[in-house]
Structure 1
C-alpha cells in the first residue's frame, strides 16, 4: 500500500506542477481511493490498523475521489447553471482544487 500511496502522491504532484496534463492524470490516477478500498470497508483488523497509521497520507486521496473527481464534468456542462447548482465543475476548477490540496502528510 505504501508504494501505491507514493505513486499516486507523485501523480498529484506532477499534475499540480504542470508536468502531467490533467487528462493524463485522471487516466493514470484511475479511481485510486475506491479501487484500493482506502476507506477500510473491505479491510480486516490488520489492514484497518495500517490504514489508520497512514490516515494523514490517505486523506488527500479521499478528497480527490469524493470532492474533486466525483464532481468533475465537461467544461461545456460546467457552464450550465443546473450543473453548477449540483456542485459540478470542469477540468480547470478541478485542477485548481487539486492544487490547493495539502500533501504534507504524504511524505
Structure 2
C-alpha cells in the first residue's frame, strides 16, 4: 500500500513525539519546528517526501538532541532516574550543579 506524503510526515513526527522525553509545550514546539523544516525542504524538492525524510536524523537521535538542549527537562529525567517519577520531594528539580539537591531519600 502506497502511503500519502502527509501520512509519511505524520509517522516521522509521531516517532519523534514518542521518543521525546520533554515537557508538553517543548515537545509541541519541537514538532512544529521539524514540520516547518520538512515542508520548507519540500518547497525546494516538490513531491520528494522520501528523500526529504531520508535526509533527516533518526527520530530517536532528534529526541536525544532536543533533550540535551533542554537542561530543565534533562534535570527532570536525571531526577526521575535517581528518585523515581514520584518522589518525596514532589518531583521538583531545583537548579544545581549536580542532578538534584532536593535531598529526597534515594529509593
TM (norm. structure 2) is 0.29
More relative contact order, 1 or 2 (CA 8 Å, 6+ apart): 1
Larger Rg, first or second structure (1 or 2):
2
Larger helix percent: 1
